Structure 1
Amino acid sequence: YDSTQTKRGAAALARLKVFEGVPTPYDKVKRMVIHDALKFGLRLQAGHKYCLLDRLSSEVGWNHYDTIK
């Protein structure tokens, strides 16, 4: 499945902003952990579509896939 096959997926990819590190407006904001978000992977239901960050980043041109593998 390729998310850019649909107009909706292509539009979502165009809106995606990716930063290395913490961008300037957010570096002074207090950080917090959302425990329910960490449990997301355990609650995936069968048949729901999802995307892995390593695959997505390599598809959009990030060249350090082997570093995080």
Structure 2
Amino acid sequence: MDRIEILEERVAHLTRAVEDLSDVVARQSREIDRLTRVSQLLAQREAERESDGAGTIPLADQKPPHW
């Protein structure tokens, strides 16, 4: 193989690697977006649950009975 063919082969491999990594990043971005939405939903539900018990101390802030 001459030098040009070797370089063309390397460029082809690098192009494939970049495309593969781009797919991984896109997939991870979608997963992060999904997890962010789930986290926000859970935080909202917890805030609503705590506000529904008006006048009571949230369970996480209550002292255990042995204290």
The TM-score with structure 2 as length reference comes to 0.22
Bigger radius of gyration among the two: 2
The TM-score with structure 1 as length reference comes to 0.22
Q: Which has the higher helix share?
A: 2
